[in-house]
């Protein structure tokens, strides 16, 4: 087992929200962290500074993870800086919400490109490195919308359901090489993504009657990255949703 201080994690979309909390939580375990972002260089730099203040080892790398060349560069730069990749958290995501009949092909495509194709691109590129190391953890952020659907989110729920099928298949393909692949399905979490939603309506459907905090999702992600505690878990979906979905 590689010592925590030798391990390297890439968190996509780590400048804000759940990704930010995840980068901070993983760094607190001693893991070296790559804070990926697309545009918010200032916010990413703040995450870097916060981690460094606590003694963590971290870099920020800009890359649009829906683009093959940028993903390849993200992986290359990670390897040049830290030499390995142990944990990949596919967290970057966007919404383009509107009802089906008003949904433009661009709204559909943008969400599929990042939320599903981005997960494919990053997992494929990082798993090549993990296969050589014969170990690795891939943690994909899906959503309760991918489990139960959500009006106005045909694009988003299709992408998130796709992430679940993808995670199960890749978990089966990579298990023999010591790589686990799991998915985390948050409910409503207080981030920029949910800022504009009408909380009163939503809270009716959440048994715990509040939004979750990014740190509460990060806790599950950190657990799934932990050795040996989570070493025998693969191909699973873990809901962090205040009880919204009870199977
Ligand atoms: P958020 O606060 O809106 O943050 C999104 C993050 O993704 C930002 O760091 C953003 O970087 C990054 N990003 C956007 N486009 C990108 C791209 N093309 N390449 C790389 N990074 C990109 O979102 P969040 O609420 O934390 O959501 C994180 C994940 O959890 C998403 O996959 C989301 O679908 C999922 N989720 C969220 C909730 C919720 O209630 N919040 C519920 C279920 C699932 P920049 O700052 O540079 O734009």
Residue-wise DSSP of 169-214: HHHHHHGGGTEEEEEEEE-SBSSGGGTTS-HHHHHTT-TT-SPBPH
* Cα 22 to Cα 10, 57, 92, 141, 222, distances in angstroms: 10, 14, 12, 11, 7
Closest ligand 1 atom to Cα of 19 = 26
Q: Which residues line ligand 1 (CB under 6 A)?
A: 12-19, 36-40, 43, 64-66, 91-94, 114, 141, 143, 186, 188-189, 191-194
Residue nearest to atom 17 of ligand 1 (CA): 64
Residue whose tokens read 């070296």: 32
Residues 147-152: what's their mean pLDDT? Answer: 97
- Joined together, the tokens standing for residue 123 give 């997992």
pLDDT in tens, 9-50: 999 999 999 999 999 999 999 999 999 999 999 999 999 999
Catalytic residue list: 156
Residues 55-67: what's their mean pLDDT? Answer: 98
Q: What is the pTM of this model?
A: 0.98
Ligand 1 mean position to 176 CA, how many Å?
Answer: 31
* Domain 4-240 bears CATH identifier 3.40.50.2000: no
Ligand 1 mean position to 1 CA, how many Å?
Answer: 31
Report how far residue 23's alpha carbon sits from residue 36's, in angstroms, rounded to the nearest whole number.
Answer: 10
Closest ligand 1 atom to Cα of 17 = 26
């Amino acid at each position: 087992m590689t010592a925590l201080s030798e391990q390297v994690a890439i968190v996509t979309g780590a400048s804000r929200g759940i990704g930010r909390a995840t980068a901070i939580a993983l760094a607190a375990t001693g893991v070296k962290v790559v804070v990926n972002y697309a545009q918010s260089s200032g916010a990413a730099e703040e995450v870097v500074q916060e981690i460094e203040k606590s003694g963590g080892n971290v870099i920020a790398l800009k890359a649009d993870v829906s683009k093959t060349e940028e993903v390849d560069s993200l992986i290359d730069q990670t390897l040049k800086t830290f030499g390995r990749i142990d944990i990949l958290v596919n967290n970057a995501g966007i919404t383009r919400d509107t009802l089906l009949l008003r949904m433009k092909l661009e709204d559909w495509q943008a969400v599929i490109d990042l939320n599903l194709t981005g997960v494919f691109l990053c997992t494929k590129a990082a798993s090549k490195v993990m296969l050589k190391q014969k170990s690795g953890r891939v943690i994909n952020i899906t959503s309760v919308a991918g489990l139960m659907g959500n009006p106005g989110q045909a694009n988003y729920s299709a992408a998130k359901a796709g992430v679940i099928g993808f995670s199960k298949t890749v978990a089966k393909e990579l298990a023999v090489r010591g790589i686990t692949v799991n998915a985390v399905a948050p409910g409503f979490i207080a981030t920029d993504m949910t800022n504009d939603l009408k909380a009163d309506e939503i809270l009716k459907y959440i048994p715990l009657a509040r939004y979750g905090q990014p740190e509460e999702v990060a806790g599950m992600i950190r657990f799934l990255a932990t050795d040996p505690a989570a070493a025998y878990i693969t191909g699973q979906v873990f809901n962090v949703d205040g009880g919204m979905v009870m199977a």
